[in-house]
Amino acid sequence: MKNTTFLDACRRGEPEHSPVWFMRQAGRYLPSYKRLKGQRNIMDVVKDPELASDVAVDAVNALGVDAGIIFADIMVPLEGIGVKFKIEENVGPVVSNPIRSLEDVTALGTLDPERDIPFVLDGVRSTITKLDDALPLIGFSGAPFTLAAYLIEGGPSRNLEKTKATIYSRSDVWEALMRKLTDTVKDYLTAQIDCGVSAVQLFDSWVGCLGAEDYARFVSAYTAEIFSSVSGVPRIHFCADSSPLVEEFHKTGADVLSVDWRVPLGDVWRRCSEETAVQGNLDPVVAMVGGSAMRTRVADILEAARGHKGHIFSLGHGVLQNTDPENLRQVVEMAHAHTRSRR
Ligand code: CP3
């Protein structure tokens, strides 16, 4: 592989330059994405391996990043176990049969990725072929907690009231659902690795609504089980809005902790260990604002990472829709130039 900087950083080696990639780098902020997608819903794109791989590779080429990410959505494996949902523009996933009882959980199927969602794996294979060994492809899945939250809430929710009510008062439903989702995610990520992805990222976007004690009691064992069963490639744990949980995330065994802008980067190494790699953490709003405000913060982040092994430059969360791609190209250039200037 020509550009190994991302994988070198994940393994805390000595990359040629600071690697950069962005969550949601393929998305509506890119004019070429909008062109490729046309009038289709995102799930139509995901189910068309040729188009999905074009979208993923196009984002890599448009930005000059050091890694690609498969084009899918965290909801995709749930379709494979019989969940009915739509991804509504400007809303997000909406589930038509939310989980309300133990029977609802038992009714879910068992995921066989090649049988139930072959289009994702075809998309992975096609993306890898199109990247032509130029750089690594990251596979991903939603983490069991975030998937459970979508399944129980049925859609976006501010306080995750139904999810927390299930955790606190229906432990039978919670445990059965987390068991089912943990098995699903393990099989889903393993299938992606078998198809050749170079790293995997687990998105636990909503887990920040829990305190550290509840996370340790009700969630972390499932996440840890996923990381211990998925091997052979670097494993990244993304968590948003969850500074108090960082030590707990570290204990789940991920190789890379991906944090948002609320956590000073150096704190992650200090609070967890020098032995972990860290991904992040420019505020996507700052990336949208651009200009000198952005450049100052990019420089601050690169400075905070100086002297630590294993930093992957990224945003603290996904690229926002109103971001000028030119801003992201500038971030890539700055990160690459910064490392070179230190040598
Ligand atoms: O380059 C990439 O990273 C694209 C692949 C990708 C998508 N979703 C495609 C997508 C990835 C990695 C995701 C992850 C995802 N999806 C997460 C975890 C990351 C995070 O943001 O916390 C979550 C929570 C979802 C669920 C979801 N899907 C939401 C909240 C939305 C936004 C709804 C909207 O319209 O703003 C989606 C839709 C979605 N998934 C889009 C994309 C490019 C935008 C809609 C579209 O293009 O039609």
Beta bridge partners, 138, equal 69, 199
- pLDDT score at 342: 61
Cα–Cα distance between 136 and 224 in angstroms, integer? 24
- Signed CA dihedral, 22, 28, 29, 30: sign only: positive
Q: Grade residue 249 by pLDDT with cuts at 50, 70 and 90.
A: very high
Segment 264-311, tens digit of pLDDT: 999 999 999 999 999 999 999 999 999 999 999 999 999 999 999 999
Residue 117 CB less than 6 A away from ligand 1 = no
Q: Grade residue 339 by pLDDT with cuts at 50, 70 and 90.
A: confident
Atom number in ligand 1 closest to CA 55 = 1
Q: Grade residue 185 by pLDDT with cuts at 50, 70 and 90.
A: very high
Distance of CA 261 to the CA centre of its chain: 16
Say yes or no to pLDDT of 81 above 60. yes
Give residue 113's identity as a one-letter amino acid code. Answer: P
Atom number in ligand 1 closest to CA 72 = 5
Instruction: State which of 21, 42, 86, 189 you would mutate to test the pocket of ligand 1, scoring each by most atoms of that ligand within 8 A of its C-beta.
Output: 42
Percent of the chain with pLDDT over 70: 99
Q: Please report where in the chains the tokens 């829709």 appear, as a residue.
A: 321
Give residue 104's identity as a one-letter amino acid code. Answer: D
Alpha helices (H) in the chain, listed in sequence order: 5-10, 31-37, 42-46, 49-63, 76-80, 102-106, 113-116, 118-131, 144-153, 161-169, 171-195, 212-218, 220-229, 246-251, 265-271, 284-289, 291-305, 325-342
Atom number in ligand 1 closest to CA 205 = 22
- pLDDT score at 156: 87
132 burial (CB, 10 Å; 0-12 / 13-18 / 19+) is exposed
Instruction: State which of 20, 21, 23, 24 you would mutate to test the pocket of ligand 1, scoring each by most atoms of that ligand within 8 A of its C-beta.
Output: 24
pTM exceeding the 0.95 threshold for the entire prediction = yes
Segment 138-147, tens digit of pLDDT: 999 999 999 9
